[in-house]
Amino acid sequence: MKKLVSVCFALIISMFFQTAQAQKFDEYFETGVMRVDLVFSGTAEETSYALSGVKKEQFYSGPKSNMIDPFDYGDHKFVVKDSASGKTIFSHTYCTLFREWQTTEESQTIRRAYPHVIRFPWPIASVVVEIHDRNKQGAFQKSWSATLNPQSIFSDPGNPYHFETVELEINGTAEEKVDLLFLAEGYTAEEMDKFIEDAKRSAGYIFSEEPFKSKRSMFNIRAVKSTSQDSGTDIPGEAIWKNTVVNSSFYTFGIERYMTTMDYKSVCDVAASAHYDQIYILVNTDKYGGGGIYNHYSISAAGNEASRAVVIHEFGHAFGGLADEYYNSAVAYNDYFPLEVEPWNPNLTTLVDFDSKWKNMVSEGTPVPTPSEEAYKEIVGVYEGGGYVARGVYRPMIDCRMHTNDAAFCPVCSEALKKMIATITGL
């Protein structure tokens, strides 16, 4: 009887907290999403924002009890504050292609503009929205702010596209699961059956590997049949140009294998068709390539023989904030990870603040730095080389999914991915 009373009491407490959390959401937000469209512009040394417009979207997919981002990740963070009290009621960290561009040679000589989008639950009352960019010292610094009153904003509730969404696997409500959304890029209307098969296969790649394999029930998987005028994607180095729905292209920053889209506004327009926490753009090409940008999007070729490795690797970037651990491939970046600053990524260190990283996972007696020798092949340590440079930046293991196409996620990367899943799902 005592045990039964304890169980009942625990259930009552649980229900109380769930109700309290729901009321907290309802205190500040209602159904829908406030989407704020902006434009980045700048050079290597300067960033500015301009407001483009506000839209009201239908699908908020995030948790309703953990609306403050607990991770100090990303190159950007936006914060939403209740205008009356000044209380922070929502925050989100992320990266952008614009910030990557700012580390290239081109950004030293010209100014560019990129579309930008931020999204959060539709507020009931006036809010202050702030964007904070990470400075060269590694700290977030406020770059832009605006007060938005949902009662007076002319917000377009229409979706420019009317694409069909297919539910590939639903394991629960959007707010309690990680919602993964595949977008078709470079598929014509006649190729939509192919896209759905490609999406199913790509999801299978992700969930064939730990830690996703054992956490599959914590995800929902959908696909948007976003049709393109042409089949394929741009390959500028071969003078191939296609009319596609989200304007993807190889040769980003002059690197042939780096496939991205600079048109993030179109990506979000297409994705507005469904629930999503993570966007995965599948491109109808058999050419090797892809990209992954933290809390922005993943993108990869659907038909290359190495697609399995690329799909998983890029999702590691976009979902977990994992950095590249390789250092012997051509990239367009200059000093992407300054040696005097600890990287925010969970799987790299400059040893400036190793206590904040995986130090607790390094066994006593393992030398730091750790030699890249056969004796340490399966040992979590601190191995020099990573983040595109051979010296001064360190990775957790000799090999890992973020280092080569032939390995699985190492224990450090796996732990970071598990924490992300737990935070989004509240479990």
Question: 165-318, what's its fold?
Answer: Collagenase (Catalytic Domain) (3.40.390)
The mean of the pLDDT values for the chain is 92
pLDDT above 80 for 112: yes
Order of all β-strands in the sheet with 127-134: 88-94, 76-82, 127-134, 140-148
Q: What is the tens place of the pLDDT at every residue in 131-168? A: 999 999 999 999 999 999 999 887 777 777 889 999 99
When pLDDT is cut at 50, 70 and 90, the band that residue 328 belongs to is: confident
Q: What is the pLDDT of residues 32-59, one digit of tens each?
A: 999 999 999 999 999 999 999 999 999 9
Per-residue DSSP letter, 318: H
**In angstroms, what CA-CA distances link 136 with 36, 102, 349?**
26, 12, 16
> Is the pLDDT higher at 405 or at 74?
74
Q: Does the fold of domain 165-318 match that of domain 18-148?
A: no
pTM listed for this prediction: 0.92
Q: How far apart are CA 277 and CA 324, in angstroms?
A: 22
pLDDT of 178 strictly over 50: yes
Residues in the chain: 427
Q: What pLDDT, on a 0 to 100 scale, did the predictor assign at position 392? A: 95
Q: Is the pLDDT of residue 5 over 70?
A: no
- For the chain, which residues make up each domain, given as ranges? 18-148, 165-318, 362-425
**Cβ distance 140 to 133 under 8 Å?**
yes
Q: Tell me the mean pLDDT in the region 181-209.
A: 98
Report the run of H or E that residue 267 belongs to, with start and end.
Answer: helix 264-271
Residue 377 has pLDDT above 70, yes or no: yes
Sequential DSSP letters for 153-214: ---B---S----EEEEE--S-GGGSEEEEEEEES--GGGHHHHHHHHHHHHHHHTTSTTTGG
The pLDDT value given to residue 329: 66
User: Distance (Å, rounded) from C-alpha 69 to C-alpha 406?
Assistant: 32
Q: Which CATH class is domain 18-148?
A: mainly beta
The mean-pLDDT minimum among 55-69, 81-95, 175-189 falls in 55-69
SS3 content of the chain, % helix, strand, coil (to 5): 25, 30, 45
Q: What pLDDT, on a 0 to 100 scale, did the predictor assign at position 22?
A: 45
pLDDT in tens, 261-301: 999 999 999 999 999 999 999 999 999 999 999 999 999 99
Handedness of CA 121, 127, 133, 135 (dihedral sign): negative
Contact 357, 411 (CB under 8 A): no
Distance in angstroms (rounded) separating the CA atoms of residues 22 and 42: 40
C-alpha span between 209 and 411 (Å, rounded): 13
pLDDT of residue 158: 73
